[in-house]
Amino acid sequence: MSRMLFQWDWLCLGVLIISSVTAEIEKEETLDAGAEVEDFDKQSQEADVDRDKSSLEVVYQTPKPTGEVYFTETFDEALSGWVFSKTKKEDTDDNIAKYDGKWEVEELKENTVPGDRGLVLKSVAKHHAISAMLTKAFIFDNKPLIVQYEVNFQEGIDCGGAYIKLLSSSDDLNLEYFFDKTPYTIMFGPDKCGEDYKLHFIFRHKNPKTGEYDEKHAKRPDVDLKKYYLDKKTHLYTLVLKPDDTFEMLIDQSVVSKGSLLEDMVPPVNPPEEIEDPSDKKPDDWDERLKIPDPNAVKPDDWDEDEPSKIEDPDAVKPEGWLDDEPQYVPDPNAKKPKDWDEEMDGEWEAPQIPNPKCETTPGCGEWVHPMKNNPKYKGKWKAPMIDNPNYQGIWSPQKIPNPDYFEDLHPFKMTTVSAIGLELWSMTSDIYFDNFIICSEKEVADRWAADGWGLKKLVASANEPGMFSQLVTAAEDHPWLWVLYILTLALPVGLAVLFCWPAKKTDEDIDFKQMDISKPMTKGELKQEREELEDDEIELEEERENEDIAKD
């Protein structure tokens, strides 16, 4: 029985090890799965591409919108309609203020889809700015706003952004002068510097009382975004704003953040109804002390404040072998005066001090003194004990008054109309790839657009993924402890085979038990009793058969 339990313990351990290895590999791909994968897969199957072909045989066709859109761009016709900024960034050194960062239209470096080109940011430590007018302006009324585009950090990313701006409509909007201060309505997209991985959603809200604009930032997503910046794959970024004042941010068609424009923005859209009175002052006699010294307490007569905290230990004895006449430090006998030592300038040269080697094998050197110990009579300075303050009034705070700047905007979705899209970026890493911009109001249109563009890139990247063995090696390079699991996993089948298949050695206890069971002699009385029991059983069976025959008749 104990042997079987031992074998089952090994089996359970094996299952746990295999599960751990599998979970570690699957964890690397968790973020690739999304809540809306089924919709995407269904639409991908409708694309005019043979999904069974390898990445080298994919036939690319420029995506075409299947419904009403406000803007689309595939960059397959170069930069038609796009305008490079000719201005300078304000409040910046002149040598880097110009928007002279270079843009190119190129295919991806890896997992290339032949014929599919995108916009690529090429310069390092440069300001970049490029923009284009929408096909038609988007008015925030009763239709959702869907903004979607692709990004690939082909060289990873050290510090830089890949966000876009939807520029506010105005009569004086001139794309040649697009810069960081150009009014925008929405800013959306990835941004990273150091170990801070962000996904921006910012909108500029117009104060209905003052007419001034304030930036409102969506709360940070709860998911880990690091993978999207480092895996050198093309990822799909989607922002959905709805007329019910809610929003969603998606990466690769999986929701990573959602919320309410009224409740999940920082600072909030609507200011508080009441504020602290700036003119209110704390009264001079306001007592915020929770505890006070007891005014009735008296220092005890035997309390001596002059007693020191440490005294010499009178019971201490100088250790044997203590060298009173030897100094703790002596001049280094091996030291030599530097050749460039000038006694007139530097003074008389003295060898540096080193620990006295004679003291290393003795309890100590130099004059011995009694060690110090805690003074049992020490009490320190007397202080009256603390008691509850009978006059305590609590922590003072100014009184509340109506907020003179209060307003209530119940529908912040009704933002300023947008008429252009722009990228205004700084980056310390080059070759950031953008592709397949779309602005529309119907989710089906955006999903179909994604299937025809990003879907092909994802298909090619999947076809070029390394095999299981390469994935295991890569995972172990990132997490060396996985090698232990691999070794145990490989050794496990052999161990289980030995445990379950190797004949068990019979113990003396097993042999004795079997011999007792087989060769134990029976007495005449036991044989007679067993014979009578068999005869009784036969009589009962015969009666049952007779009863069954009577019932049938």
Cα–Cα distance, 269 to 272 (Å, whole number) = 10
Res 213: pLDDT: 96
Burial class (CB in 10 A: 0-12, 13-18, 19+), 253: buried
Here the tokens at position 401 are 């008054």
List Cβ<8 Å contacts ≥24 apart for 311-318: 311/372, 311/373, 311/375, 312/369, 312/370, 312/371, 312/372, 312/373, 313/370, 313/371, 313/372, 313/373, 314/370, 316/370, 316/371, 318/368
DSSP structure class, residue 289: -
Same domain, 211 and 159: yes
CATH number at residue 361: 2.10.250.10
Same domain, 261 and 334: no
Same domain, 76 and 218: yes
Res 93: pLDDT: 80
Q: Is the pTM of this model over 0.85?
A: no
Same domain, 188 and 113: yes
DSSP code string of 451-501: HHTHHHHHHHHHHT---HHHHHHHHHHH-TTHHHHHHHHHHHHHHHHHHHH
Number of domains in the chain: 2
In a domain, 449, yes or no: yes
Give the closest residue to 98 by CA, choosing from 130, 131, 129. 129
In a domain, 96, yes or no: yes
What are φ and ψ of residue 341, in 5° steps? Answer: -75, 125
Res 329: pLDDT: 92
Which of 464, 482, 497 finishes a domain?
A: 464
> CB 398: neighbour CB atoms within 10 A?
13
Which of 428, 449, 464 finishes a domain?
A: 464
Cα–Cα distance, 424 to 234 (Å, whole number) = 20
In a domain, 178, yes or no: yes
In a domain, 504, yes or no: no
Same domain, 114 and 210: yes
In a domain, 342, yes or no: yes
Same domain, 439 and 362: no
Same domain, 354 and 420: no
Across the strands, what pairs with 455? none
Give the closest residue to 133 by CA, choosing from 82, 90, 96. 82
Across 514-551, b (16+ Cβ under 10 Å) vs e yields: eeeeeeeeeeeeeeeeeeeeeeeeeeeeeeeeeeeeee
Same domain, 126 and 235: yes
Same domain, 212 and 358: no
Residues of the chain with pLDDT under 50: 2-3, 5-6, 21, 25-55, 513-519
> CB 366: neighbour CB atoms within 10 A?
15
Scan for tokens 């020191």, then name that residue: 308
In a domain, 267, yes or no: yes
Same domain, 268 and 338: no
Res 175: pLDDT: 96
Cα–Cα distance, 439 to 68 (Å, whole number) = 9
> CB 350: neighbour CB atoms within 10 A?
9
DSSP structure class, residue 30: G
Give the closest residue to 147 by CA, choosing from 440, 447, 444. 440
Cα–Cα distance, 319 to 368 (Å, whole number) = 9
Same domain, 346 and 237: no
Res 467: pLDDT: 60
In a domain, 104, yes or no: yes
> CB 88: neighbour CB atoms within 10 A?
15
The amino acid that residue 164 corresponds to is I
In a domain, 500, yes or no: no
Which of 310, 342, 369 finishes a domain?
A: 369
- Up-side HSE of residue 56: CA atoms within 13 Å toward CB? 0
Query: Would the CA dihedral through 503, 509, 512, 518 be positive or negative?
Result: negative
Q: Which domain holds residue 339?
A: 321-369
Contact criterion met (CB below 8 Å) for 409 and 134: no
Same domain, 199 and 330: no
Res 36: pLDDT: 40
Res 375: pLDDT: 93
**Cis ω on the peptide bond leading into residue 327 (within 30° of 0)?**
no
CATH number at residue 157: 2.60.120.200
